[in-house]
Structure 1
């Protein structure tokens, strides 16, 4: 069994503030260790279910958060950015399942540190009229390869948001949102245990998991937080401006969706 793990940080137990997600302070150093330990729990659960190849992609911010010296020795690690397909770099159709560890609710949601790819840039990312968060967007890309999402861990709002998209996947709740920067967290060992057990449980019924499919043609729309960013996006030759904050771009595939999303995210640095 070949297993792919996409690791984010905002949905990790014990993480509730943006300072914990940004390098350069002691709270971040603590949070990256918590992130690494939750990934290790998923690796352990995968090994218990029979996985013989596990690849972990560091998918948060600078994408150099996970600590290689603390990562489970059974896992290979993808670090750094920019990289093709960003949060799902290295995913190919020969993987059997995807696990999303430490994920969060989409932009506009109530969840802890809710955003979609770039909280400064995006108010919503819509595919065929439906606003999706990172698990939905990237999970649909995995689905286009025939690879199902087996588990998503994070807060309760992340679970509620993604349950309809991935009805057969395990939704592991390690904290309950009390606001954008507050949560009731499971004890850390308990959080890791439910991730470990949820991973094993999900993979033991791998044959019944179905990929999340969004049918083409794809209509891609970005609702941006700033009119000036919409001005920048409109300068892209294929872009179509809808109104002050919304821009449409063509997408022949879900890889195109991810490419445009990350291009606009990078462009937003010009306005910060």
Structure 2
């Protein structure tokens, strides 16, 4: 039984400021160690529950955050970017379930460091009218492969927004949002203990889980944070301008939806 783990950083206990996710400072170095420890807890819980293999994909920012020499050696690790399907690179239909660790609520939502994919570019992302966090988008991609999301770890706002989408999912709430950059968090040790126990419970009860599917065809609508960003996105030939700051795309698959989002995200760097 194979388990896939997509690891983000904003939902990690003790992470509350943008500095925690930005390489080049002491706060980031501390946060990436905490991120690695929480991923190790999820790996250990997966094996405790009966997993035969675990694949971890580093899914935050530069995607070289996890410390390979500190990672549980039983797991394999995907690092770097760009890579196909980004935060869920490496997932296929052979996996029994996906875990999302260190995840957070979506753009425009309450929650610690809430955003969707790119906080500079995106004010909101909708697929067939569903307001999407990152877990929504990638959970739907996993669902299109027949793979359920079995574990979410992060703050209480992630749980409120995303847990209802995933039948049977287990959640480990490691902090409660007091604002976009403030939280009341468990200690790192308590957070890891909770994640390990919840991950084990998730694997032992996978029969309760069902894939989350957004039926196609898909209409992707993106609200950008400025008119200039929407001008840029509209240069894509298949984009439709639907408002001064918004564009839309038609897509046959969730993989294509994710491809368009990540294309615009990369393009947005030209306007920073």
TM-score, scaled relative to structure 2: 0.99
How many residue pairs get aligned? The number is 272
Q: Hey, what's the Cα distance between the residues in 2 that align with 1:208 and 1:167? A: 7
User: Which whole-Å CA distance do the structure 1 matches of 2:235 and 2:30 have between them?
Assistant: 41
1:83-232 equivalences under 5 Å are 83-232=83-232
Partner of 2:42: 42
Q: Distance in 1 between matches of 2:83 and 2:163?
A: 29
Stretches of 4+ moved more than 6 A in 1?
A: none
**Superposed counterparts of 1:242-261, under 5 Å:** 242-261=242-261
CA distances 1:187-222 after superposition (whole Å, capped 9, x unpaired): 111100110000011111112210001111111100
Aligned residue for 2:6, secondary structure, equals: strand
- CA distance in structure 2 between the aligned counterparts of 1:237 and 1:250, rounded to whole angstroms: 12
* Cα shift at 1:233: 0.6
CA distance in 1 between partners of 2:223 and 2:167 (Å): 27
> Unaligned regions of 5+ residues in structure 1, if any?
none
CA contact (8 A) 2:140 2:214 kept: yes
Structure 2, unmatched stretches of 5+, are none
Instruction: Tell me if the contact between 2:217 and 2:250 (Cα under 8 Å) persists in the aligned partners.
Output: no
**CA shift at 1:167, angstroms?**
3.5
Q: SS in structure 2 opposite 1:247?
A: strand
In the TM superposition, what whole-angstrom CA distance separates every residue of 1:52-100 from its partner, at most 9, and x where no partner exists?
1100000000000000000001110000000000000010000000000
**Residues 9-34 of structure 1, C-alpha deviation per residue, up to 9 Å, x if partnerless?**
00000000000100000110000000
Distance in 1, matches of 2:24 and 2:187, equals 26
Pairwise CA RMSD of aligned residues?
0.6
Given the two structures, how large is their TM-score scaled by the length of structure 1? 0.99
Distance 2:205 2:41 in 1: 19
Aligned to 1:16: 16
Superposition deviation, residue 129 in structure 1: 1.0
1:113-171 per-position Cα deviation (integer Å, ceiling 9, x unaligned): 00000000001110001111000000000000000000000000011001220131011
